[in-house]
Structure 1
Amino acid sequence: MDTHHFRKSSNNGSSNVIAMNFDAAYFFERGVRFLQRNDLNKALKAFRKTVEYEPNNPVNYCNLAGVYSEMGDFEASNELLEHVLCDLDPNMTECQFYLANNYANMGEYDTAEEYVLRYLDADPNGEYADDAEEMLSVLLDEFGGGRAFEKWQEEKRKLDAQQATKDGRYFLENGQFEAAVEWLESVIEEEPENYAAYNNLCLAYYYTGQHDKALSLAEDVLYRQPDNIHALCNRAILVKHFGWRDMLDAAAEPLQKVFPLHYDLAMKVGTTLGIIGYHADALETFWRLIRLTTPPEPVLIHATAAAAANCKNWAVAERFWQMLARETDYEAVADHYLHRVAEARKDDTASLRVSYQLDLPVEEQLAVVKDKLKDTKLEAWRRDPLLRASLYWGLRHGNHETRRRVIRALAVVADEDAEKALRLFVGRRDIDETLRLHAVVALKRIGARGTVRLFMADGEQEVSIEQIDPDVIFDLNPNWREVWVRTEEWLHKAHLQRLVPEAKRLWLTYLYDMFLHVHRRIGKADIWVAGLIYITLRYFGVPVVQRELAEEFAVAASSIRKCSARLEQSLLTSGI
């Protein structure tokens, strides 16, 4: 720190010495005063001094860069900001936003777009997040941008898909519960500390009816992490499912006391409290969340209304469903529940039991279709036109799980009308890629020929069904692809390349047969690799000892025997 002395003369001829301490803070204050007076030159000199006194403080460089930007010297400003990010503090994310502003002012809109996206990636809830989103909107709408944005969106989709697949969310969100079980069991075997995978496997067990396993898994997580909110919610729902009233209060207590600041977690806590019947506590959670969320999302609006209705608080329920009715996409569901509340108001003893899931009223009608899909023999769909109409209606209006079941049923029906329904379905714009893939596999399974119109990310395309590779079915489940890849590698190492096409044909035959049976599943990949190798070698006259394969893959010989029997049965049925 420099100390300069100013001398001031006194009337009696003596002198007083006043010590002035000049440091970065002093020059910062001067710089701010000069900026307020719009004296940019003096502000520039003052902020340069802050850098001289504290050359390792990134804030000083940002302030100086701001002055350069105000003066229109964007190149100098950018140089300082890049210095901060490269040499001083790469986590100072606001520099990305400042750079975006500078490049926009320089007319380099593509570069500005890249920097604003970097900022939103690094700090999506940061101080300048709203300004950054507005800037991005302007860059896209008024300056013909979008190239960097499209690339960013694609990369984000890939990263999200990778993470969603890793922790099993992809399968759960798309209704692939059996696939989720298979995948997540292998994940936790390799990553025993992956609690997200444990909690998602718990849900997968629950959705596949393996409730004892689900509860055991939730308890296991809570033993190691007593405050794990996902596990607390899962356990509470399972206790409710088993009807253990004496244990329900204890399971609900930690959820009544907690309010996570993370939106998704708070929603899960509130929804769980509602599902297990603690509607007043659910309403309190949603109220608190509404105060922190502006504007509230439709799912939160409906959940709050549902909790209020379940508490017979009709006025609050009406208020929030009226709010939901202003959302175009949810006007129908809001009107439906407003009508139900109006009916309940007429009877003082009436009560409502409203689902916390934001579903269209049509979902209540779909319950009939779901029951028929479970209980009706699929051959009956061929004969009964009313059942067939239910299928087509379910394909059009159903949720993900219902549509997936309908697609399988249509693959069994396999007549001209079923094929037509599937062809129309794959060309729809409003379905996700997983359902489109199921429908494509169904078309391959029933032997459809000719071209089909597929609505892809880049628009509608006409594709030849025969030219779609049969191994597209591998995309339905990573375990199915893994079995084939490992089998192919084994055959190459054993110098049996000539059997690769045959083995693949056997495996695809089995998978396309299994596609029609929703309850079938493939367990440990090692067993199926060994089983596929065994049946391939045996069918094509290559000497093989089942016990030796069992030892090589560290599985039981009986497991290979069961697996190969299932493969053989499929081959015999198909006529191969």
Structure 2
Amino acid sequence: MRLDAAFFHERGVKYLQRHDFERALKAFRKTVEYEPDNPVHHCNLAGVLAEMGDFAASNEVLLRVLEEIAPDMAEVQFYLANNYANMGEYEIAEEYVLRYLDARPDGEYAEDAREMLSILMDEFGGGKALARWQDRWREQEREAAKRDGRHLLEEGQFEAAVEWLEQVVRREPDNLAARNNLSLAYYYTGQYEEAVRGAEGVLAEQPHNLHALCNLALFSAHVGPKARLEACVQKLAKVFPLHYDLALKVGTTLGLVGQHQAAFSVFERLARIAAEPDPALYHCAAAAAANAGRFAAARRYWRLLARFAETEDLANYYLKQLDAAAAAGRRSLRVSYQYDLPLHEQFTEMKRRLQAGDLTAWRRDPLLRASLYWGLRHGDDETRRVVLRTLAWLADADAERAIRLFLKRPQVPPALQAAALFALQRCGARGRIDVWVDGEIAPVRMSALPKDLVLGIEPVWQEVWRLAEDWFKAHRKRQHLGRAKRLWVAFAEHAFLHGRVRVTRPPVWAAALVYVVMKRFDAGVRRKDVAADFAVAVPAVSRAAGRLQGFADGCAEDG
């Protein structure tokens, strides 16, 4: 008969099946004596001690495994959680179950661990360890955000993020967080193929990387194929991360790709275990419920959201939308998971802020930034013109980077190039700019750009000045050319930035410009004479002159 660890292990298992714990204990002690470095034997011994109610002795064995024999054996954390729960040490049990789930979110005991966590919180008033754990994780995340460029994404500086993260990834190719963020930055700037390659590259090295999986799901929902999207959704629907922000991302991703019921399950579970759910979670849960047709649940979460002073208006807006949908007999209400008002409401508010000069509140909105950069890359000429106007208003470092990249693109019409260069002037850009000219990149210095650059944005603006300039020269009034040019350039800048003035008939506006300037410096000028010189109707000149005079007076009042 061969007496070794395997022999005593078999005997121990037989005694356990007969509930003969004393003999099982002796057998497993022998396995430890024969193979003291085998962590499985120690765990079996600890299991028998726990069955006998000696949880303290069981813990001593398990802690020795973690400290001396197999520090990476995550299931030992779960065994310790069970022991401490049986000892009534619920907060310690919570700490160990969190450690296990943190190490093995998809492990053998993951479902049991999540159930234990729910019981500890629901039945025994737990949550303190989870709150501490989440605080530690958030602090680590904040530090990591600075290292891997995530703070640039959160601030909506996507072009800056691409530039920064490409350097980080070249320097640290194993930095998966930076690579995930780079793929997102590519996506937000419209570089979809690069975005997909980035996410797939991370998953090739780490198949269970949830950030990459979420990213790839979003990319696939936008650019396909459907099979890849379905594969991502199947994997995401099976996981529930304990990291609050990561769980929120998984739920939001499922919602954004149309899996609203799955998203609601994630949000509802997260709301149940979170120590202090934030307003964004309540809105996401309500949005998922509304999209899935669960109006009662949606109403419950939006009412919770209405308790926060800063989100009361938002919640009431959606509650009214929900009531209207229910009254109309609709089965669902389409709601964005973005924690904000719908886009048409946002644009109304954006116009108001533009008029009031209050850009701070939405300058760093990541979704707005993403839509701007997408429009600059993929929109038609009119869309790109509007985007350039908005970037000229933003006039920050990331806007400048986006415009510089735009100017390097081939086949940009001259009018849009002029708009981009003018926007760079507004941003206070200095030094060299690379511009695509005649099939190649040509360097241009900002200091060399003409002061009347804005006139190149609209051919009609250029034509107005040509006609006016010809009149001043023909009538020997060259001394007024400088004043007229400054007024017309300033008016054109105003027209571009505000987009509310349409100049459609160059002779009418040229006559108006001549009349406004000459009236100020030559009292003898008559409107009908100027109109006759340009062969246009006097009322039309009067209307255009009124706009110009009002603008000039406003500029004078401003200083």
Larger Cα Rg: Structure 1 or Structure 2? 2
Higher relative contact order (CA 8 A, sep 6+): 2
Instruction: Give the structure-1-normalised TM-score.
Output: 0.45
Instruction: Give the structure-2-normalised TM-score.
Output: 0.46
